[in-house]
Structure 1
Amino acid sequence: MQHDATTVAPLPVGPPDGAATLAGAEVAALWGVRQLDGTLVDVGLSGGRVVSLAPSGPRPSSDLPGPGLDARGWLALPAACEPHAHLDKAFTAARVPAGRGADLEGAVARWRALAPRIDRSDVLDRARSAVERYASRGITTIRTHVDAPAEGDPLRMLDALLALREELAGSVTVQVCLLGGWHTPTAVLLEAAARGVDVLGGCPHLAPDPHGEVTRVLDVAERTGLPVDLHVDEQTALPADGTLDVEDLARQVIARGLTQRVTASHAVRLGSLPPDRLAPVVDLVARAGIGVVTLPITNLYLQGRDATHLAPRGLTAVRALLDAGVPVAAGADNVRDPFNPVGSCDPFETTALLMTAAHLTEREALAAVTTTPRTVLGLPPAGLSLGDRADLVLVPDVPLGDVLAGAEQARVVLAGNRVVADTRVRRDLSLVTPRRPAVVPAPVPDQLVR
C-alpha cells in the first residue's frame, strides 16, 4: 500500500514540541534513516523485527508496513548491550566511606560490610533506576551479576532482580547471573537455578583454591545446563605459580565438551603477559569458544594503584584476542558504587575508553558494545538487516566519532518496534557579546526634580 508522506511522523533532531514524546509508541517504519555505510533507507518493522529495507526516496517506500517516523537527519545503530553490570550494587557509593585504598580488595571489603543492610526492596529500587538510565542511553540488553550474601537470605538480591527481569520483559532484556563466592554453598547455586537464574557465575580469583572454584561452578553448570560467566584474573599482577583462571577455565571447557556458552569477564592478567606467554593462552581461549568481556572504566579505576611508575592499563589483551577471532564485548561493570565511583550507564562512555585505552578503531569499539555482546550473551542479532531484531538507537546523523566520543546526547531507542526512550536536547548559546551603540541617559523631567 502507498503511504502518503503525511502519514510519516516527523522526528526533529531538536526537542519535541511541547510535551510530546515518542516513548511508548509502536513504530512500523523508519523513513530516510542513515545506515552505517552512509546510505539512506526506508525500514519496515513488524513483530519486533526488520521486515523490509529499501533505498530511500523523496517519499516513503510503498512497501512499508504502516505509518512510522520521518528519520531524516538521524543515524540508526544497533541498540547497545551492557554485558556485565552489577545492578544490586548500583548507586551505593555514597553509603561507603571515601578515601584512598580503593583497589579491588578494598572495594570488596566495603561492599561486604554494606551488604547485610541491603534488602530486596532496596535492590529493586536502585536496579530499576539504573535500568532507566541504561535504556535512555541506548542499552536494551543487560546481563547483571548479583551477589549471594553470607548474611541473611542469600538469594534476596537475586529474587529482586528476577522480579525486575519479568517486569521489564519486552522492553529491556535482562539476564541475571548469580555471582556466588567460594563460600557460597553449592545448594544455594542449585536453588538459584531452580528459581530461574539465567547464568551461573563466580570469582575464582578471590578463592583460596581458584581451580577448585572453577571446577565447582562448571560441575553445577553441567548439572543444570546453564551458561557460565566467571570473573577471572581480575588483577594485573601475575600469581607466583603463574597459573591463570582463564587458562584453567578454557582447558576444562574443552575437556568437558561444554555446549553452553561460557564467558570470561575481566581477564585483566592477560594484558600483563609477554607475547610468548600470551599467544598460547589466547589460542586456548579461542579453541574453547569462550567469549571475553572487558570492562575498562571499572578496571582502570581499580587496577594499577600500587604502581610507582608505568602503571598498567587494567585491561585484558584486547587486540590479541580480537586478532585471534575471540569475541570481545565491552561494558562498564559498576556504576556509582564501591567498585566505581563514577559512570553514566552510557555505552558511548565505554567506546571512548576503548578507543583511548585499548586503541580500538571506531568500528571495533562500536561492535564491542552493540553486536558482539549479543554473540557473547547468546542472543539473536539486532540491527538493520532483514530478520534482525529491531533493537535500535537513533542518534543525530553526525560523524561516527562524535557519537562514540559521547558528544551527542539526543537518542531515540527502540526495543523491537516500540520506542522505550526518547531523549532530545535543546542547547542555546550566546558567547559573543554584540556591539551596542552608546546609550545616552534620558533627561530627567522637570516635574521629578526636587
Structure 2
Amino acid sequence: MTRNSSLPLAAPLPLVLGGHAVPTLHNATLVDGRIVDVHIVGGRVYDVVPAQGLVPSEDDLDLTGFLLLTAPAEPHAHLDKALSFDEIRPPAGDLGSAIETWENHTPSLTVESIAERARRAALLLLGNGTTAVRSHVNLLRGDQPLRGIQALVKVREELSSVMDIQLVAMTPYVVGDEAVHAALDLGVDFLGGHPHQTPDPSGNLQRLLAIARDRRVGVDMHTDEQTNPTMLTLEELAHSVRDWPSSMPVTAGHCVSLGMVTPEVLARVIEAVKESNVGIVSLPITNLYLQGWDTPVAMPRGLTAARALIDAGVRFGAGADNVRDPYNPLGRSDALETAMLLVTAGHLSVEEAYRAVSDGARDVMSLPKS
C-alpha cells in the first residue's frame, strides 16, 4: 500500500494488517484509476468492487488517496550473508574478490551469528512489504558445512507465521554429496550451486541435477554470472530438465551471459528455456555492482536479456540478491529499489518492473499468484 505511487496492482493477496484481518478496505485506488472497496474474508481478499462511498466503520480501513499494490516477493536472497558488510569491511571489487573475501570470513561464523543477521535481513524485507523470500544458503567448507542451513531453518520456523521462506542449498564445488543430502534432510527446499564458477561447469551441473533427481526436489542454480558470451550453462540446464515434472521446478538466477550473446544465440537459448519452463531471475543491483570491473570503457550493464525473455513469455522475476555484504555494499531490502533498476538499467516499463518483483517473482518461486 503506497501513497502517490504509479506502480501497478495485480490480483489480490492474503492481507493482514497489524496482526489482524481487515474486513473492508474502502476507497483504494487501483493503477488504472478505479476507486474500489476490497472485502476481506478469513484474512484473504474475497472481492474487489467499485467504491460505495460509505464511511468506514471502526473495523474497516479508509485508503482514500492510497494506491493498493500486491505484496512483492524476493526470489533470490542470501540471508546467510546479508548485513555482514560492517563486520567484514570488504574491499570493493568484482565477483572473484567478493567470493574470496566471504570464504576467508566463513571460519568465524556460528549458527547463532548467521541466524541473527538472517533474521534482521528477513524482517527488513517484511517491513518493506515482502511476504515471501527464497534464500540461497551456502554449504560451508570444512568439517561443519551445515551451519548456515541450521541457522536458516531456525529463522524460517521463527518467522513462519508472517513470511514464506524457501531455502536453497548452495553447493560449492568442493563440498561432497554427503553434506548435500544432509542439508536436504534438514528440510531445504531446493538444490543449487554455481557450476559456471567451477573447473568443470558441465560436470558440476550434472552432478547437482543427479542429486536433485534422486531426491525429487527442484533446483535453483546460479547461472552464467559473468559477461563471457560463450559461458552458457543455461542452455545445458534447460535441455537437461526438459522432462522434469512440475513438482520439481527449475530456476536459473543471474544469466548475465545471456545479455551478451548475438540475436541468433539469444533466440536459440530462450527457445530451450521456454520449452523446459525454466524460470529466470534477474538481479540488477548486485550484477551491476560486480560485473564489468575489467572493462573500463563501454562497461557492460551486467544484466540478463530481460526484454527478450519477457517478450518471449518466459517466466521472469527479479530480486535484490545480496544486501550489504561483500557482494554488494548497498541495498535497502526494498523491492521498489530492484524495480527501479529494472527500469533504468534494463529498460523495462514501470508495470513490467513491478510485476517482476511481485507476481513474476511468486510465479518463479512456484507460489500461488497474488
TM value normalised by structure 1: 0.76
The DSSP-based 3-state class of the residue aligned with 1:174 is strand
1:62-115: per-residue Cα shift (whole Å, max 9, x none)? xx9x93211111111110011100000011112334434x10010000000001
Once residues 207 and 286 of structure 1 are traced to their aligned partners in structure 2, the CA distance between those partners, rounded to angstroms, is: 26
Please tell me whether residue 108 in structure 1 is matched to residue 99 in structure 2: yes
**Matched residues in 2 for 1:351 and 1:95: separation?**
29
Match of 1:81 among 48, 65, 73: 73
2:208 matched to 1:220? no
Please give the residue correspondences for 1:167-316 in structure 2 after superposition, counting only pairs within 5 Å.
Answer: 167-238=158-229, 242-254=230-242, 259-316=247-304
Instruction: Work out whether residues 172 and 194 of structure 2, in 8 Å CA contact, stay in contact via their aligned partners in 1.
Output: yes
Within 5 Å, give how 1:335-350 maps onto structure 2.
335-350=323-338
Matched with 1:5 is none
Give yes or no for the alignment of 1:94 onto 2:86: yes
- The counterpart of 1:48, out of the listed 43, 47, 52, is 43
**Which shifted more, 39-48 or 346-355?**
39-48
Give how far 1:258 is off.
6.8
> What amino acid is aligned across from residue 336 of structure 2 in structure 1?
F
What is the aligned counterpart of 2:316 among 328, 335, 343? Answer: 328
1:335, 1:185 → 2: CA distance?
Answer: 28
**AA aligned opposite 2:71:** A
User: Once the 2 structures are TM-superposed, how far is the Cα of residue 381 of structure 1 from its aligned partner?
Assistant: 1.4
SS for the counterpart of 1:52 is strand
Q: CA deviation at 1:243?
A: 4.6
Question: Structure 1 unaligned runs (5+)?
Answer: 1-10, 14-21, 383-450
**Offset, 1:52:** 2.1
Per-residue CA deviation, residues 193-246 of structure 1 (Å, 9 max, x unaligned), is: 1111111111101111111111111111111221110001000023xxx35110
Q: Deviations over 1:311-360 (max 9, x none)?
A: 10000011111111111111110000000000110111111100000000
The 1:99/1:190 distance shift into structure 2, 3 A limit, reads: closer
User: 2: distance between equivalents of 1:12 and 1:135?
Assistant: 15
Please list the CA deviations of residues 278-326 of structure 1 after superposition, one character each: whole Å capped at 9, or x if unmatched: 1101111111100000000000000000003111000001111111111
1:155 corresponds to 2:146:
yes
1:29 alignment partner in structure 2: 24
Match of 1:17 in 2: none
Q: Which residue pairs with 1:416 in the alignment? A: none
Give the superposed CA RMSD: 1.9
Hey, what's the Cα distance between the residues in 1 that align with 2:342 and 2:148?
Answer: 31
Alignment partner, residue 127 of structure 1: 118
Counterpart residue identity of residue 75, structure 1: L
CA distance in 2, matches of 1:216, 1:46: 47
- The TM-score, its normalising length taken from structure 2, stands at 0.92
Q: Which runs of 5+ in 2 are unaligned?
A: 4-16
Please tell me whether Structure 1 or Structure 2 has the larger radius of gyration of its CA atoms.
1
SS in 2 for 1:144: strand
SS in 2 for 1:113: helix
Q: What displacement does 1:259 show? A: 5.0
Cα-to-partner distance string for 1:132-184 (whole Å, 9 max, x where unaligned): 21111111111000001112411111111111111111211111111111111
The structure with higher relative contact order (CA 8 Å, sep 6+) is 1
Write out per-residue CA displacement over residues 374-396 of structure 1, whole angstroms, 9 at most, x where no aligned residue. Answer: 110000111xxxxxxxxxxxxxx
CA distance in 1, matches of 2:98, 2:293: 13
The whole-number CA distance in structure 2 between the counterparts of 1:135 and 1:97 is 26
Query: Paired residue for 1:386?
Result: none
8 Å contact kept, 1:222–1:258 = no
Deviates more, 1:249-258 or 1:335-344: 249-258
Give 2:339's aligned residue: 351
AA partner of residue 318 (structure 2): A
Distance 1:156 1:146 in 2: 10
CA distance in 2, matches of 1:105, 1:47: 49
Residue identity in the other structure for 2:208: V
